[in-house]
Amino acid sequence: MLFGTTQPESGDSKWRSQLDKFVKQNQRELAAVFWGLWLENGNSQGTIGIDLQPTPHFVYCPQEAIEKLNDKVENRLQEILGIVENHQPEVEVVMIGIGKGEIKLIQFAPEPAPPNCFEQVGKDVDGLLELLEQQMKEQLKY
């Protein structure tokens, strides 16, 4: 994408901007669910992902699967692997967006930090997952 252009996005990449908008609007809740899942599993299940097909839902992306995909795409995911391996869960949220045969890194440092977001939201992980998945289904159309 060229910066400064006003060309409309193609249908294939529209999901990326919709996902960006969703993340921006729901940072606190996403940070809360991220922290809650981190407390439950650490990184033993992999990185949390938002899979947009067939309908938006949360998944785990095992490290091994990301590494295999990186091999298949001639190491073009090396930066993502580095960020995933070195993120600090008590400070930043790292997730992977999955849509239309592509992936997108989701990374942000919420204010307040993820542990505080989890406390402030006051819902359990299952309640947060249900709430966010419902909101994704309403807001992410493609």
Quick: pLDDT tens for 90-141. 999 999 999 888 899 999 999 999 999 999 999 999 999 999 999 999 988 7
| Structural domain count of the chain | 1
Backbone angles phi, psi at 59, to 5 degrees: -140, 170
- Per DSSP (E only), the strands in 13-56 are 47-51
Residue 1 lies in a domain: no
Instruction: Dig out the tokens for 21 from the structure.
Output: 């908008």
Residue 100 lies in a domain: yes
Range of the domain at 89: 14-139
Residue 8 lies in a domain: no
pLDDT at 62: 92
Residue 65 lies in a domain: yes
Residue 32 lies in a domain: yes
Residue 18 lies in a domain: yes
- pLDDT band of 77, cuts 50, 70, 90: confident
User: Which of 83, 36, 44, 40 is CA-nearest to residue 61?
Assistant: 44
CA distance 131 to 11: 26
Residue 129 lies in a domain: yes
- pLDDT band of 142, cuts 50, 70, 90: low
Axis crossing angle, helix 14-25 with helix 125-139, rounded to the nearest 10: 140
pLDDT in tens, 36-70: 999 999 888 999 999 999 999 999 999 888 889 88
pLDDT in tens, 7-43: 444 556 788 999 999 999 999 999 999 999 999 998 8
